[in-house]
Amino acid sequence: MPPTDAIDRLKSVNHNPQDPNPWLALYLDTSIALHETAKANFLIDVGSRSRQYFFPLIRPLCRLGIAFNKVLKTFLPNFLTSSWLLHHSIHLGLKWFVSPYANYLVMRHFHIGTELLQFVAGNAKGVKMEFKGLRPEKLKDLVNNVFLDHDLNIYNFVIEINRQLHEQNRDLEPKDELDFSCITDGDFPIEEMPRGWFNFIDLEAAIEIYTPMYQLLLTDSDFWRACNSLQLDETIALYATTLINDHKFLGLVNNRHPIVPESTFGAGHRLMLHGLAAECLHAYLVKQKRLRRKQMTEGNGV
């Protein structure tokens, strides 16, 4: 159940022309398609006191942690690696300290990632693929290696779809009729997020805190792969827009050129952009789904 109070909070903001609220302006702006509840939760999160005051203080410390872990992993590459400990600590951190708005966006992201890959796999001509979909409904579900599997799914997907296309000497092209059935037009089945006294940390601050922990509890290779996966935003967007034959969406993708990797120091901010890009692409596909449904209805004379 999404925290719908984010919408109410934004709608209740009184507009003062001498002191306009930036988050209200972005909420009312419709130039970019986004799921309304997700957009409201995103704006409440980035406009929070945690994002304004706590995040700038914690970010330098977290980046020092990344530098320290890099030195440590250079000499002890397998020191303290534990996916079990990583996912259980992330679960407890989200449950006890992260805001419900941020947690909601985290949970949505895995559903969205699954549906984007399903859309491409299901609509690419000559491709037959099955992969492990990630659809956590409760925060507790995240302990099942969800974060690590999310990265693995993307790489395995890119490898497998291109392997099949190469074997058939075929370029990526759509089937005769696009199938949008895998794209959810509405809310995902997600539990209500905790609202305890300490659930105040915003999404980007939480990401900055968890990034050095992610680095510490995985091998150096796993961490590099996870960071570089963020630049596959452009790759997945190209697949989807090629199938729809409309590349205007690509202008909204910020993580680009995966052949040239970015520094791991900026992984936190790039992860924020990754989440937003996935939300935008999913909303774009929802919009296309509605358009196709309307065209079919009008074509049938209904």
Q: What is the pLDDT of residues 19-42, one digit of tens each?
A: 999 999 999 999 999 999 999 999
Residue linked to tokens 């796993």: 222
Q: In this structure, what DSSP letter does residue 257 have?
A: -
The whole-number pLDDT of residue 301 equals 59
Which residue range is the domain that position 32 belongs to?
A: 5-299
Residue linked to tokens 């697949």: 239
Q: How many CA atoms lie within 13 A of 74 on its CB side?
A: 6
pLDDT for residue 302 is more than 70: no
pLDDT for residue 1 is more than 70: no
- Mean pLDDT in the chain? 93
pLDDT digits over 100-139, tens only?
999 999 999 999 999 999 999 999 999 998 877 899 999 9
Radius of gyration for the chain, computed over Cα atoms and rounded to the nearest angstrom: 20
| Residues of the chain above pLDDT 70, percent | 98
Q: In this structure, what DSSP letter does residue 58 have?
A: H
The whole-number pLDDT of residue 220 equals 86
Of 31, 90, 36, 1, the residue nearest 279 (C-alpha): 36
pLDDT digits over 254-274, tens only?
999 999 999 889 999 999 999
The whole-number pLDDT of residue 250 equals 87
Assess contact for 204 and 96: CB atoms under 8 A: no
Instruction: Provide the domain count of the chain.
Output: 1
The whole-number pLDDT of residue 152 equals 93
The model carries a pTM of 0.94
pLDDT digits over 61-79, tens only?
999 999 999 999 888 888 8
| Residues of the chain above pLDDT 90, percent | 83
pLDDT for residue 226 is more than 80: yes
Mean pLDDT value of segment 143-170: 95
Cα 32 to Cα 55: distance, rounded to the nearest angstrom: 26
**227 membership: H or E segment, kind and range:** helix 220-229
Cα 295 to Cα 299: distance, rounded to the nearest angstrom: 6
